Amino acid sequence: MCIELFKLHYSMNYGEITYIQWYTSKRRKIKHNDPPFVIFEPYRQGVHLEGNDQWTGFAMELLQHLSKMNHFDYIIKPVSDKKFGTFDESKGKWDGLIGDLVYKKADLAVASFTITYDRERVIDFTTPFMSLSLSVIIQKSNSDPGLQFTAPLSNEVSLFVCTYKNAKLVLKIYNFNKFYRELSCLEILFSLQTDND
């Protein structure tokens, strides 16, 4: 989740924004509906809401706090094409939130979307206040956990591993056999004798 700021000067003092200078007197802010960060609610508890009151969520609360801290007003307008913003190489234009910022239809945008190299080349981002990592989710297996390590292997490789383990077990049992140890000692004794004795 990031707050995207266009033409915004800020200096950081121990993680807090200490100074903001805007290029326009009235801030135009655009957003993309993305619960729980940005939520559009035209009606709340049976009451029809208008203007900025229609928008709630974590990012909206953050924007209200920044507005009070830095004494600025803003007007919230939704993105017309409901896109986050991609560059169309055939047209040579940006769309979505990024397009509205690049073509100065908005001064800042609040949304939860990825900071990419292409987007960073055309707009300024604040420091992300929330980072998520991607993960892969798979269904839990009901198979025997003892041989679970062979699951990603082919059948032939699994068979080879099982054969190897069984052969190793047989050799280990054979090693502990009393008869084998006595036979080994006799072989050593006879092999140490020389013809000169």
For 108-168, the DSSP string reads EEEE-----HHHHHHSEE---S---------PPP-S-GGGGGGTTS-HHHHHHHHHHHHHH
For CA atoms 175, 179, 185, 188, the dihedral sign is negative
Q: Which residues of the chain have pLDDT under 70?
A: 1-33, 132-151, 178-197
Tokens 């900025």 sit on residue: 52
Give the H/E segment covering residue 76: strand 74-78
Write out pLDDT tens, residues 48-74: 999 888 888 888 888 888 888 888 888
Cis omega (within 30 of 0) for bond into 152: no
On whether the CB atoms of residues 29 and 76 are closer than 8 A, the answer is yes
The single-letter code of the amino acid at 18 is T
Compute the CA torsion angle 63, 64, 67, 68 (nearest 10 deg). -150
pLDDT value at residue 90 = 95
* Residues 2-125, CATH architecture: 3-Layer(aba) Sandwich (3.40)
The helix/strand/coil state of 180 is helix
pLDDT value at residue 134 = 58
Write out pLDDT tens, residues 102-132: 888 888 887 777 888 899 899 888 887 777 6
As given in the structure block, the two tokens for residue 177 are: 């056999």
